[in-house]
Chains A and B, each alone.
Chain A
C-alpha cells in the first residue's frame, strides 16, 4: 500500500500537472467563472449576447482541446518518480465522453439561449418576477435571465469532470458541481412556475439523498481499500484481507448514488416529475448530457474499480454485483417501457423513455469492456435524438406556452407536415427502426452484450423495445391520423438556434443510421479505460 505509506509519513510532494490534458475542463470552468463576472459587471442589456458568445466559444474551444488530446492516454497528474495520481484520468473513453457532453452541451446551450420562439425565453431569473408583471414584460423586450448561462457551464463542466474522475472524491465533487446548477436550472421556468419549483425541490431533496448515499459509500470503500482511487480499490479487491462487508456495502451505496443520476429503476421516481417541470431546454440538457455523465461514471467505476478492466481474466467483484445490476437493468427496461405506454404528456413520455433507455445503457455497463464501445455509441446516438425531440417540443405552443399534453398534438401533421415528418423520424429512431441511429445503437449494444454472454438481458431488451415502440407509435398516430382539436396549438417557426438544434439532431439521427461505421471506428479507437 504505497499510498498508505506516503500518507503516513506526510511526504507531500507536488505532482506535475499536464495542463493540456486538463485544458478542456479548465476552459469550461473558466468560462463559467468569467460568466459570473460578466453578470456582475456588464450592464443588463449587454449580458445576453456576451454570455451566449462566451458559452459557445468556451464549449467549442473545449471541444478543440479534447480533440488535441486524442490518442494520449494519461493521468493528468504524475509524481516526479513517475507514479500516477489518478485524480483525473484523460483516457480514450474519458475523452470521448467529455467530447460527447461538450458537443451536446453546445446544442443544449443553443436551446437554452433561444429567446425568439416565445418572447423572453423559457427562463425567469427569480420567482419574485411575477408572471405577467412589468418586470416579466420587460424581459420579453430585453433577453434576460442570463444567469442560466454560467449555471449551464458549471453543470457541463461538472459532467465532464465526472466522466474522467479517477478517484471517488473527485467524482463526488464533480457530482455536486453538476447537480447543484441543475437543481437551480430546473426551478427557473417562466411558465408553469409551481410545477417547475416543485420539480426543482423534488430533484434537490432526492438528489441530496442520493449524494449522501454516494459519499457514505465512498467512506466505506476507503475503509476497505485505504484509498479512494479506483485502481487502488481494484487492487485491494484482489489483495486486501479487510472485511468484505465494508466493500460490498460501500459498493451498494456508491451504486445507489450513480444509478440515481442515471434514472435506473428503482431510483427513477424523480425523473418524470423533474423532466416535466423543468424548462424544456433544461430537460434536453438532462436527458442528453446528464445521461452521458451518469452512464460514463458508472462505466468507469464498474470497469476500473469493480470489473478489473486492466486484467479482465483476473479477480474482480463482477460475480457479486452482476446479478443485482442485471435485475436493475431488467426492471429499468421493463418498467420504463410499460409506464411510457400510459403517458398522456409528451415530456413525461420522453421521461419514461429515458428511463427505459437507461436500462439499455445498463446492459452495456454490465457487459463491461466488451460493450464499452457500443455503450459510448448508444450514448451519442440517443443524446442527439433526444435533444432534437425536446427541441421540437419547445416549438409546439399555444397561448399558455408549450402544449405538452398529447391530446393537443392531435392532427398537427395537417397544419405542419414538415414538423410532423421530423418528429415521426425521431419517434421511429427511438423505436429502433433500421436506417436510424436508434437501430444502430441498439444493434451495437445488444450484439456486444450477447457476445459477452448476457443472453437474458438481450432478450428482455428486445421484448421491452416492442412495448416501448407502442407509445412512440401512439404519438405518430396522433400526429398523422387523428382529427385536429379545437384551438389546436401551432408549431412556431424555429429561430436560428432551435432550428440548428433540431437540424443537428436530425442529421445525426439519420447519419448514424445510414453510416454508423464512422462513429464505430471512433469508439473502437477510444479503446478501454486506463487501468493498472
Chain B
C-alpha cells in the first residue's frame, strides 16, 4: 500500500545496527551504546510513522510486502501487520530504547564485552519484530527460533547467579516448543499442499477437523511454553531471575507476548474448530495460572523471581481474555499485552536499579529503602500499582475489559479470575511494604549507592513508561480503535459472535441478560 517497505526496514535497520555495534572495538563501549541507542530510535521513528499511516478500520493485513525465498517450501518473505501486530510493534519499539538506556552500565559493571551486549539486544529486537510482521507461517517459525540465540547469550553471558542453568533451561524449553511447532507446521504444509502464506491459508479454508485438533495442539504447546501458561512456566522465573534487568524486561515484556500474539494470529484463525474444542482446556490452564502465579509470587523472597511469577498470573488473564471469544475480552487481552509490557517492563527495570544499588535482589536485604531514595520508591510504587491494575493505570482498563467480556459468556471463570486481582494487591503491597517502608534496614545506610536517587539517565528511562501507563489508563481509545477490528476479524475466523447485541468496545455496556 505504500512505496516505502516499512516492515522489512523494521527488521533490517536493527540488524544493521547490531552488526555495526558488534564491530565496535571492545575498548570503546560509549560508542557502541550510542550507536545502539541511535538505531533503536530509528526503529521507533519508523514505527511512529507506521502508526500514523495505519488505517485503523481496515481488517486486512497492511503494509504488505512479498518476496520469494524458497518456493519449494512455500517459504516467502511475506510481511504484513494487523492492529494487534501494530501495537506489539509499537511496544517493542518503545521498550527497546528504554531497555538500552536502562542497561547503559550493566555490561561495564561486570567487565563484560559491552558492544556485544548491545549488538545482541538489537539482534533480539530484529528477530522479535520479525515474528510480529511475518505473514508466512514458516517465516514466522524461523524468527521464532532464531530469536532464542541472542536471548540465550544475553542471559547466559550477562546474567546473574545461575545464569548458565537459566539460559540452557530457557533454550531447551523453547526449543522443545519450537520443534513440536515445526512438526505441526510440516503437518499443515502437507495438508495445505505446500502453502505457507498466512493470507493464502486463510483463503484456502481450514483443514480437516481431526487434523486441526492435532495441529492446534502442536501450535498451542509451543505458544503456551513461550507465553508461558501453567504448567509450562517453570523456565520463566529462572530466566527472568537470572537475566540482566533490561533483558528481563524485554523477555517478559515483549518476547513472551509473542506466544499470546501467535495464538491470536495462528491458532485461532487457522484452526477455528479445534480452537473451540480446546478453549475450555486453555481457559482452565489460564485460570490455574492466574491463581497459582499469584500465590507463588506472594511466597517469593527474590524481587526478580517475584515479578516473573506475577507475569505468569497476568498471562493467565490474557489467556482467559483470548479464549473467552468475545470482542471485549479479546480486545482487553491484546491491550493487556501492551500494558503488561509497559508495567512489568517498568517493574523489572526498577527492580534492576534497586538490585544494582544494593548488590542483591533479595527482599530481605531491603527494608525502609524509600526513606533513602524517595523518587525511586515512587517509581517502584507506580509500577507496582500498575501491576495490580489500579484504576487510572493502563492495566486496569484491560483487566476490566477481559472480565467484562468473560462475564458475559462464562460467569464462573470471571468470578474466579477476580480472586487473582485480590491476590495481586497482596503480593504487590506486601512487596512494597517489605522493601520500601517500615524501619530502615541499617545495612542499607552503609551502602553509598543506596543514597543515590534516580539520576538523569534513569529518569529519562522510566518517564516514557510511566507516561504510557498513565496515558493508556486514562485514554485508551486510540489504541482500542486499532486493536478492535483485528480482534473482531480473528473472532470471525473462529466463527463465534458476541452474546446478545455486539457492543462497540468504545462504550463497554453490560450485555443486559440479568
Q: What is A's interface to B at a CB cutoff of 8 Å?
A: 428, 431-435, 439, 442-444, 446-447, 450-451, 455, 458-459, 462-463, 465-466, 469-470, 473-474, 477, 480-482, 515-517, 520, 524
Contact = CB atoms under 8 A, between A and B. Distances in A.
B176 interface: yes
Contacts of A466: 172, 175-176, 179
Interface stretch (B3-11, B145-153, B301-309): B145-153
Contacts of B42: none
Given A433-B146, A470-B172, A447 B157 contact: no
Contacts, number: 79
A321 to B, nearest CB: 24
B144 to A, nearest CB: 9
B179 A447 contact: no
Interface residues of B, number: 30
16 contacts: A442-B182, A444-B73, A446-B186, A447-B189, A447-B190, A462-B180, A466-B179, A469-B171, A469-B172, A470-B172, A473-B168, A480-B157, A481-B156, A481-B164, A482-B164, A517-B71
Interface of B is mostly: helix
Contacts of A450: 186-187, 189-190
Contacts of A473: 168, 171-172
B504 to A, nearest CB: 41
A138 B400 CA distance: 84
Max chain B C-beta neighbours (<10 A), residue from A446, A451, A481? A481
Interface string B151-179: 00100110000011001100110011001
A515 B73 CA distance: 12
A520 B72 contact: yes
A481 B113 CA distance: 13
Contacts of B186: 443, 446-447, 450, 458
B141 interface: yes
A428 B171 CA distance: 12
B70 interface: yes
A434 B182 CA distance: 11
Contact of A477 (B72, B156, B175, B180): B156
Contacts of B167: 477, 481
Given A431-B175, A469-B175, A462 B157 contact: no
Nearest to A516: B70
A470 B170 CA distance: 12
A293 to B, nearest CB: 26
Given A458-B183, A477-B156, A433 B145 contact: yes
A435 B73 CA distance: 14
A517 B72 contact: yes
Contact of A481 (B71, B72, B163): B163
A433 B149 CA distance: 9
A504 B145 CA distance: 25
A462 B182 contact: yes
B29 to A, nearest CB: 17
Interface of A is mostly: helix
A439 B72 CA distance: 15
Closest 7 CB pairs of A and B: A434-B142, A462-B179, A462-B183, A466-B176, A447-B186, A434-B145, A517-B70
A195 B315 CA distance: 55
A465 B175 CA distance: 9
B157 to A, nearest CB: 6
A481 B175 CA distance: 20
A469 B164 CA distance: 15
Contacts of A516: 70, 73
Contacts of A482: 164
B389 to A, nearest CB: 37
Contact of B156 (A428, A434, A469, A480): A480
Contacts of B168: 470, 473-474, 477
Contact of A451 (B142, B172, B190): B190
A444 B189 CA distance: 12
Contacts of A447: 73, 186, 189-190
A383 to B, nearest CB: 21
A459 B187 CA distance: 10
Given A451-B190, A481-B164, A520-B70, A434 B183 contact: no
B73 A443 contact: yes
Given A462-B182, A477-B167, A520-B70, 20 more contacts: A434-B141, A434-B145, A434-B146, A435-B142, A443-B182, A443-B186, A447-B73, A455-B187, A458-B186, A463-B180, A466-B172, A466-B176, A469-B171, A469-B175, A470-B168, A481-B163, A516-B73, A517-B69, A517-B70, A524-B72
Max chain A C-beta neighbours (<10 A), residue from B69, B171, B179, B183? B179
Nearest to B176: A466
B388 to A, nearest CB: 36
B247 to A, nearest CB: 15
A459 to B, nearest CB: 6
Contacts of B145: 433-434, 439
Nearest to B142: A434
Interface in B56-105: 69-73
Interface string B392-413: 0000000000000000000000
Contacts of A477: 156, 164, 167-168
Max chain B C-beta neighbours (<10 A), residue from A432, A462, A463? A462
A473 to B, nearest CB: 6
Contacts of A443: 73, 182, 186
